[in-house]
Amino acid sequence: MKTGTIKIIDGKYTDHFALGEIDFTHIYLKPYTGSKPPDVVIENGHVYHVAQLKTTAEGLYEAIIEWLAGARELENEIFIANGR
């Protein structure tokens, strides 16, 4: 399973998420603290269709689409939550 990590900054809070590829339109999204969790833990994360993330953070949807297509890596990428 292809995995990655992102950070979403929402005001004074920074949330860390591990991503896991399910198929070309679905991902696992697992919040974590500390180091990146192993794949088996990521698979216990929430399942999302990538379109559900369009309004989460600026540029996140596009980055995930590119990541799923193999056009970029997502390792500690930082995104700003929409509305901030």
Decide if 57 contacts 78 (C-beta within 8 A): no
> Residue 10, exposed/middle/buried by CB under 10 A (0-12, 13-18, 19+)?
middle
Total number of domains constituting the chain: 1
Where do the H-state alpha helices sit in 10-54?
A: 39-42
Which are the contacts of 23, defined by CB distance < 8 A and separation ≥ 6? Answer: none
Q: How confident is the model at residue 12 (pLDDT cuts 50, 70, 90)?
A: very high
| CA-to-CA separations, 20 to 11, 36, 78, 82, in angstroms, rounded | 26, 12, 17, 23
Segments forming the whole domain that contains residue 48: 3-80
pTM exceeding the 0.95 threshold for the entire prediction: no
Q: How confident is the model at residue 45 (pLDDT cuts 50, 70, 90)?
A: very high
State yes or no: pLDDT of 84 exceeds 60: no
